[in-house]
Amino acid sequence: MSHLGNILRKASHNTPPAMGFRPTASTKPHMVLMATISDTFGEAGTRTQGAEAVIISTDIKPRALKGLVKTISVPWGTWQSTSTTGREPTGADFVVFEPEKAGLELMSNEGLGKIIVVESTYDNTLLHGISELPIEAVYYMRAPQNTITWIELMQCRRLSTITTKPILVPISLDTPPAS
């Protein structure tokens, strides 16, 4: 299992409250913050501050990627495209892949965590198989915007009832907090 898989498993672990009258230290699931880097401009350390994992775009050139990952102190992985599937960078902990673009050769690397990308247009019957796949999480693809709409919230809830895998939902840094 990848380091990200361990982080997600610990974050979703929920201990039931103790029986009886004694106080308990039950834990509730918590949110895992992941950063996405799509360029090499700026300091990666400050751009990923507070993140528990980092997704790096495959648009970054291999030479720049090597320098970039030296500044990252948390598990990192790449967003795979068709041309790079099966050639994950050395040191990557996980890979994010779109199921219609990635080949099954991705499964040959057992130590590499796998995150599948799904869209709201996917049918429920297709989504039901996700829980049985050897993946660690589901990345819910949504349109880039600064607010989360009610329909997106409903789609996330639908997805959470269909799969037992953790769900990753991208949001912009400019997204205002819910009040």
What confidence tens digit (pLDDT) does each residue in 95-107 have?
999 998 888 888 8
How confident is the model over 57-68, as a mean pLDDT? 78
More confident of the two residues 106 and 40? 106
Question: Which residue, chain included where needed, has tokens 């997704």?
Answer: 55
Q: Domain residues of the chain, as ranges? A: 3-9+30-168
The pLDDT score that the predictor gives to residue 44 is 61
Would you say the pTM of this structure is higher than 0.85? Answer: no
Give 79-88's long-range contacts (Cβ < 8 A, gap of 24+): 79/36, 79/55, 80/106, 84/58, 88/112
Predicted confidence (pLDDT) per residue in 144-156, tens digit: 777 788 888 898 8
The pLDDT score that the predictor gives to residue 135 is 92
CATH class of 3-9+30-168: alpha beta
Predicted confidence (pLDDT) per residue in 67-115, tens digit: 888 888 889 998 886 555 555 667 889 999 999 888 888 888 888 999 9
pLDDT above 70 (res 28): no
For 74-123, where are the E strands, in sequence order? 76-79, 94-97, 113-119
Q: How confident is the model at residue 16 (pLDDT cuts 50, 70, 90)?
A: low
> What is the distance of C-alpha 84 from the center of its chain?
19
